[in-house]
Amino acid sequence: MADFKVTQLDPQTDFDNLKYWDVVIIGAGPGGLAASLTTAHRGLTTLVIEAKSEPGGQPQFLYADKKIVDIPGFPDGITGHELSERTFRQATDALVQFRFEEELVEIHDTQEAEKEELLKKVVTSKGEYLCRKVILACGLLHYPRKLAVLDALESRKVYYKVPRVNDYHGEHVLIVGGGDSALDAAVMALQRNAKVDVIIREESPVGKADTVGRIQELGGTIRTAAEVTEAKSQDGQIVSTLSDGTVLASEVAIVQIGFLSAKETFERLAIRLNEDGSIASTPTLKRLAEASLPLAMCMATSNL
């Protein structure tokens, strides 16, 4: 049993003029939000810094309208948007403070001491923050892999996440990718009255077979061993030419071809990485993980 007692922060706290924060958390995704709840409910002043304009991380930006069924406590599933909204509201109710559209630059040790420990300085694109501890919860998968031929159009109708559209009104939607995210996007669009073509570079989809079957049942077209080789904007549509010569005109293109790992920040902070860009584990991190602490807490520089 964890030794945990909820301690409320004083609602009269002047957060704008704190000399230092107890905890600064980098990242407002599920890990960062969960960590902020843990620290704020221990009575620790907590600041969360997020590079994007809103909280939620991958569930919010990639699966906003998709029902996620493997989140504990939601046996009927919950959409990424609702999960993000609820967790953010829970954090703000606990008096967690947030700074959005602000990116981490570096973290310094200082010679200033509070509560018999030296403070750290977190430097961001917009300011500097003194704190006792830093938690990195910025994640490995930071931004989607772009498809150059479509990205060159600079079109607002080319998406790298599934747009939150309640009804596609019979529009033609081109989806590029053969993994679960692409296939799920296809099902969502088909359920909202879209005509869908899924373009897959491989000989067969790599996503779930039952999702492939669902796409076919709903009338979607899956084109394997094909790539988008040319694209242009024409009369409000995206006209794509495939490697087999097929020409498709669509109102929307959704690209789901994987992600690039954001290694630069970790490398700048001299954090040891594995070859795939993930953070190399240490005996300390393994012990913390085995103790079932939140994943983001495993990245704390030391115990609070």
Strand partners, 248: 240
Residue 127 shares a structural domain with residue 42: yes
Question: Which two tokens mark 283?
Answer: 């005996």
CB within 8 Å of 294: residues ≥ 6 apart: 31, 34, 35, 38
Residue 266 shares a structural domain with residue 220: no
The pLDDT score that the predictor gives to residue 168 is: 84
Task: Give ∠ CA 253-255-260 in degrees, rounded to 5.
Answer: 155
Exposed/middle/buried for residue 40 (C-beta within 10 Å: 0-12, 13-18, 19+): buried
Parent domain of 214: 146-257
Is 12 part of a structural domain of the chain?
A: no
The pLDDT score that the predictor gives to residue 302 is: 37
Is 3 part of a structural domain of the chain?
A: no
In terms of pLDDT, which residue wins out, 63 or 297?
A: 63
What pLDDT band is residue 291 in, cutting at 50, 70 and 90? very low
DSSP-derived secondary structure letter, 13: -
* Reported pTM: 0.66
CB count in 10 Å sphere of residue 294:
21
The pLDDT score that the predictor gives to residue 8 is: 87
Run of H or E including 185: helix 180-191
Share above pLDDT 90 across residues of the chain, in percent, rounded to a whole number: 64
The pLDDT score that the predictor gives to residue 276 is: 61
Q: Which of 164, 162, 166, 202 is nearest to 182 (CA)?
A: 162
Residue 293 shares a structural domain with residue 227: no
Name residue, tokens 């019979």.
170
Q: Is the pLDDT of residue 209 over 90?
A: yes
CB within 8 Å of 281: residues ≥ 6 apart: 289
Strand partners, 173: 196, 252
Residue 212 shares a structural domain with residue 136: no
Residue 97 shares a structural domain with residue 241: no
DSSP string for residues in 87-142: HHHHHHHTT-EEEES--EEEEEEEEEEETTEEEEEEEESS-EEEEEEEEE---SEE
Contact 240, 218 (CB under 8 A): no
Exposed/middle/buried for residue 119 (C-beta within 10 Å: 0-12, 13-18, 19+): buried
Task: Give ∠ CA 156-217-172 in degrees, rounded to 5.
Answer: 20
Between strands 128-136 and 117-124, the pairing is antiparallel
For 114-142, what is each residue's pLDDT tens digit?
988 899 999 999 999 999 999 988 765 45
The pLDDT score that the predictor gives to residue 164 is: 75
Residue 133 shares a structural domain with residue 268: yes
What pLDDT band is residue 60 in, cutting at 50, 70 and 90? confident
Residue 138 shares a structural domain with residue 180: no
Mean pLDDT of the chain: 86
Name residue, tokens 């081109």.
174
Is 283 part of a structural domain of the chain?
A: yes
Name residue, tokens 């498709």.
248
Residue 288 shares a structural domain with residue 195: no
Sign of the torsion angle spanned by Cα atoms 284, 289, 290, 294: positive
Residue 161 shares a structural domain with residue 234: yes
* Domain at 66, CATH number: 3.50.50.60
The number of distinct structural domains making up the chain is: 2
Rounded distance between C-alpha atoms, residue 124 and residue 276, angstroms:
26
Q: Is the pLDDT of residue 303 over 50?
A: no
What's the residue count for the chain? 304
- Least confident piece of the model among 91-95, 120-124, 223-227, 291-295: 291-295
For 224-256, what is each residue's pLDDT tens digit?
999 999 999 999 999 999 999 999 999 999 999
> What integer is the mean pLDDT of 5-20?
91
